[in-house]
Amino acid sequence: MEDPFGHRISYLRVSITDRCNERCRYCMPEEEQTWFAKEDTLSYEELLRIVRVGAGLGIRKVRVTGGEPLVRPGVADFCAQLAEIPGIEDIGISTNGTLLAKEENGVPMAERLVKAGVRTANISLDSLDRATYQRTTSRDLLPRVIEGIDAAIAAGFQSIKLNCVLMKHQTERELPALIDFAAKRNVLLRFIELMPVSTQDVLSEDNFLPIATAKKLIEQTHGKLVPQPDFSTNGPALYHLVPATGQRIGFIGAMTNLHFCESCNKLRLTCDGKLRPCLGSYLEFDLRSVIRSGCDDAELAAFFRNVVARKPKEHDFRHNYQPNRRMIAIGG
């Protein structure tokens, strides 16, 4: 599949739940959240069928997301079934890390995921200060996150990325600690600009910290960063080498990088069955109704192609974008 701008679509992010055990202020900032009813959420069987059809159209990478995907029972078995689909070459998971060390029959979740064929794990880590973490997520779970990161390392994922959302008056003082934490564990660290994915006011001057400012602050403590234009992890991050530690760190600047969308190769499937060609666009197409109407695989494939044909050239975040869903209802 190729969109009107020459992007070859090979990556599908699949949300399996809108539930989460945290309340991050940039994702789901309030406790009052209307959850999708069970019957409105796609079953694993429906998700697997959609991925099979997508694989026949060129989808090669799947990332399982939420909400927090690990709160949905059966996720490891689901991933194992994804790994059996012909054409799927890479399976990843995005998680807040709180459940990666949780054991079932003596086996940590991280190990079960690796055995199921999950190759990569993206783990959120916005702070290493316990009080700050609790204020950011409304949960005192930082020790469990660190246990989860260590469990992921021990499990042997091919790649682990720590994702830190940049927040003004918070991240600045934590940059050195986060960089050193990632260096000691030999995992990639990425800094992500805030986006208006849940509420527009999250981008207030009091909250928004651009990647350019973060880079300058890092260079004050770790030396001049060296761009690594030839290093990529199949995403929008721009990587730099930290000379002081020898590690790479990434920057994802959806708001300030004017070339952010030029290499986009992804679609997003929400847990309630909406296929979205772009995170920063109102466009979404009701795949759940189609798949539950008794359609055949050819009709599903035509639906995919129609959505790809509607993929916009770039996101709308810079144009006073007003979210119509919170991030937790779209998928991380």
Mean pLDDT for the stretch of residues 28-46: 79
Residue 319: per-residue pLDDT: 56
pLDDT one-digit tens code per residue, 87-139? 999 999 999 999 999 999 999 999 999 999 999 999 999 999 999 999 999 89
- Given a cut of 60, whether residue 29 has pLDDT beyond it is no
Lowest-pLDDT range, 68-77, 127-136, 244-253, 317-326? 317-326
Describe the strand order of the beta sheet including 247-252 as a list of residue ranges.
Answer: 226-227, 238-242, 247-252, 188-192, 159-165, 120-124, 90-95, 61-65, 11-15, 266-269, 274-276, 285-286
Band of the pLDDT at 325, cuts 50, 70, 90?
low
Between 28 and 186, name the one with better pLDDT.
186
**What would you report as the CA-atom Rg of the chain, rounded to the nearest whole angstrom?**
19
Q: What is the DSSP string of 253-266?
A: -TTT-TTTTTT--E
- CATH of span 11-329: 3.20.20.70
Mean pLDDT for the stretch of residues 308-320: 72
Residue 201: per-residue pLDDT: 54
Band of the pLDDT at 281, cuts 50, 70, 90?
confident
- Given a cut of 80, whether residue 329 has pLDDT beyond it is no
Mean pLDDT for the stretch of residues 245-258: 84
